[in-house]
Amino acid sequence: MALSHALTWLVVLVATAGVIIRPWRLPEAVWAVSGAVLLVVAGLLPWRNALQAVGRGTDVYLFLTGMMLLSEVARREGLFDWLAAFAVRRSGGSARRLFLLIYAVGTVVTAFLSNDATAVVMTPAVFAAAKRAQANPLPYLFVCAFIANAASFLLPISNPANLVLYGNHMPPLGLWLGHFLLPSVLSIGATLGALLVIERRHLSGSVDAEVEQPELSRGGLAAAIGIGVTAIVLLAASAADVQLGLPTALAGGATAIFVLWRKREAPWETLQGISWLVLPLVAGLFVLVEGLRHTGVLTLLANRMHAEAQHAAQATAWGAGIVIALVCNIMNNLPAGLIASSTVTTAHLPRTVTDALLVGVDLGPNLSITGSLATILWLTAIRREGEDVTFAAFLARGAIVMPPALLLALAGLLAR
């Protein structure tokens, strides 16, 4: 038994390392799925348990599918180009003003459409805006990556990881805001301050604001309406305590079908433009976490946290938030959120500890490029535009951005 548990840990660690490092530049999904398959083939995880783990991700798959459909339709119909020209013209030629405008929009998109939407939907628009302004796109692209996590606990719908952590026990919207509004404001403000310091050299100059505003096509307008309707649907679903995956998939699918029907266009090119490998990546991560659960280590962790919380809830909350934030950068925040969710359910932890875990799961990934699914989606999006960011380059910024935001957010959360 001890040998099988050790082998399970080895497989999970190697697969997770593959997702983070991407040896031979193989896609992240290859490593996650390979690790999941190896657990089953080697007899370390019963295949029924693996299938159940894959099934638990259904809501996340549907949510991501809807967002990716919206993004691809919007991109193909020129909505991003139109938004880019609008933002550049509004900047008045100031690099700093363009940066702040993008940051504000990113905060709103993350809050009402989720951090994955910021990564998938907003990143191409920001890249187009920087190119139109004849500016280095990377400082503005980093906004999309960091605000996607910094604002991801402003609302319950702001991050699929929130759904994973709380499951069927999502707090009502009013209670959520009472707990997380101040920490979110502190997180968003601290992240902005750090980014302004890091990118001050790039933001001290001017950009070319004299760009032509293209006409928004009917398809682009339909995509914009679809995105707006999706935001309203997600808020309504959250208020009604309904899982968000299916409404998002239906809204994204309906938008894509309407636009394609109006143009009398087959869907194949649109479907080919979507990064479908994200879905098996998520499924593989769910199975890897199930492998850890099968070893019994999560039960031991839950018992330890329960004992610590009984003794000192406040100190446990601080420790849990910081530790889970760091763990997210070792194994991605989705499996870390699944582990935290299992621990919360088993240990019946106080609400303060659960809230601190949420802040850590959402904000911790701003340290490294593979810390969250949203950042992986962001990396995929910028690669499509011909840009790339190394692990070291992101870490150099994340080491400055994440710690103060995390500590301030936890302080605001636990000061009540």
Quick: pLDDT tens for 296-331. 666 666 666 666 767 777 888 888 888 888 888 877
**Collapsed DSSP state (helix, strand, coil) of residue 157:** helix
Q: What pLDDT, on the 0 to 100 scale, is given for residue 397? A: 94
pTM of the predicted protein model: 0.80
Instruction: Write out the DSSP string of 335-384.
Output: HHHHHHHHHHHHHT--HHHHHHHHHHHHHGGGGSTTSSHHHHHHHHHHHH
Instruction: Count structural domains, the chain.
Output: 1
- CA distance linking residue 93 with residue 77, whole number of Å: 27
pLDDT of 299 = 62
CA distances from 163 to 54, 63, 277, 392 (A): 16, 11, 21, 30
Contact call for residues 102 and 87 (beta carbons, < 8 A): yes
Residue 1: the pLDDT is 57
Of the candidates 304, 329, 377, 319, the one whose C-alpha atom is nearest the C-alpha of residue 352 is 319
Domain that holds residue 224: 2-414
Are 194 and 405 in contact, with CB atoms under 8 Å apart?
A: yes
pLDDT beneath 70, residues of the chain: 1, 167-170, 211, 241, 296-307, 309, 345-347, 416
9-47 pLDDT, tens digit each? 788 878 877 877 778 878 878 988 999 999 898 888 888
For position 6, what pLDDT does the model report?
A: 79
402 CB burial (10 A radius; 0-12, 13-18, 19+)? buried
Report in angstroms the alpha-carbon separations of 311 from 304, 306, 352. Answer: 11, 9, 14
